[in-house]
């Protein structure tokens, strides 16, 4: 599985790259802030809401610390999606947040 660091994601944002961020944390966690522009689908809803994702796009998957995003990225990868796990998750994120 591919991984990416928060610094690498911030550099891509700074370069105005179009990124698809998928946040798989629970609603209560997202209430504390989400990466701007991220799509929020809790891990437990991935299989039923997978149709909301574009199979032609690459996704960076994020959770609190990296474990749930690893599970989501693995599952979506098995379904044919191009996924990358954000190392350290939101615990490592020091960029902007939306509330």
Q: Which residues are marked as active site?
A: 63
- DSSP notation for 35-86: -TT-EE--GGGHHHHGGGS-TTSEEEEE-SSSHHHHHHHHHHHHTT-EEEEE
Cα separation, 76 vs 71, whole angstroms: 9
Distance of alpha carbon 6 from alpha carbon 28, whole angstroms: 22
């Amino acid at each position: 599985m591919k991984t990416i660091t928060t610094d690498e994601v911030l550099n891509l944002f700074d370069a105005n790259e179009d990124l698809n961020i998928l946040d798989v944390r629970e609603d209560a966690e997202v209430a504390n802030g989400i990466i701007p522009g991220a799509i929020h689908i809790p891990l437990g809803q991935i299989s039923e809401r997978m149709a909301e994702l574009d199979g032609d796009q690459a996704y960076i998957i994020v959770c609190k610390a990296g474990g749930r995003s690893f599970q989501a990225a693995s599952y979506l990868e098995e379904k044919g999606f191009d996924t990358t796990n954000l190392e350290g998750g939101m615990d490592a994120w020091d960029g902007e947040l939306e509330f």
